[in-house]
Structure 1
């Protein structure tokens, strides 16, 4: 692991790291799965951290429906899910920021660290505006510019590039296995937030966002 003094920037996932929109995603996908007649009890965890089209393919395969729809029809289904999701997130406020994250972002800014967003969500600007954190994420990877979704490292590499930094100078924060895999493949130091058994490939593990502070990260990296 690199030393803490080498770190100049932080690359954030959004869902489950800055704010908890995963429940809204799960609810919106659940509405679509019900419409398609697909019973998927573990849907919430299965779709965490992957792109919209990859999540749709997962649901269709679960129901044996992957060959029943044309690409255009699949796009329409994904759009329908997104419409459901957008309706669900309209009432988000600063109260939906995960514990400690507003303070951590302020701490990073005050100490001169670069901050970038690496979220596959095309709704990220709307969400950040709703919860009042847009000013921290003036640098954000455009999901439309991506060739590959997580666990491919592309989004995290682009996050570092937006900050003008090498991947080794960055820490990536994620709550999903696919994200941790992507951060590690990008050559960045990975912080996994959540179940440490599930996220065991992360360089650093915190059980929840309230533990994410510069002091705690420095302590772990310099041990």
Structure 2
């Protein structure tokens, strides 16, 4: 079962693996979308699935909220919005939370082969803790970088470059798993190889990735 993914890692000359979180480790973007729609009812703002995918998915909460409110927000203005929306997301998802198919098995293979792993997410720490508290995968990751650790969100490469640095691996030697177009663009700008998951976008929209899969079971054959 391990041979396929290890061959891919060798093919890409990768020494470390970095995962996005939303839509990549958890197939949770429908729940984020529901939370946004519920939150936006309060401000009489509507959002389409297309707008969510193009302007919100993969971006930091600051970028998202400033887009929705069409103005710059101070930290004091931003945090109540973020806490309310993310609280709605966790409440909606708590009974359904599950990893993308094949993820735990993939993590175990990489772990047993001593391949360093990190997370590079535009999300916030409470959402990361929410995942770790419900899915027993915390031990696999040597580094977790979230939106509070960076100045520029995806598609800027900062978050992936920072994660590579914390893993002590050159950016060009990192393999990234991503689902969003802005995330793939970010990782490619960092000089990394990317395997895209078609959990959020159609495969034809993910053509800039080096490889496209539906879920991790395709790497376990």
TM-score class, shorter: 0.7 to 0.9
The count of aligned residue pairs is: 205
Judge conservation of contact 2:142–2:167 (CA < 8 Å) in 1.
Answer: no
Runs of 4+ in 1 over 3 A off after TM superposition: 69-75, 89-93
Aligned residue number for residue 29 of structure 1: 36
Judge conservation of contact 1:20–1:97 (CA < 8 Å) in 2.
Answer: yes
Aligned residue number for residue 53 of structure 2: 45
Aligned residue number for residue 26 of structure 2: 19
Residues 1:163 and 2:167 aligned together: yes
Aligned residue number for residue 59 of structure 1: 68
Change (3 A) 1:121 1:70: closer
For residues 134 and 31 of structure 1, what CA distance do their matches in structure 2 show? 30
Aligned residue number for residue 135 of structure 1: 139
TM-score relative to the length of structure 1: 0.83
Pick from 129, 134, 157: which aligns with 1:125?
129
The unaligned stretches of length 5 or more in structure 1 are: 61-65, 216-223
Q: Deviations over 1:187-210 (max 9, x none)?
A: 111111113211111111223332
The unaligned stretches of length 5 or more in structure 2 are: 1-8
TM-score relative to the length of structure 2: 0.83
CA-CA distance at 1:35 after TM superposition: 1.3
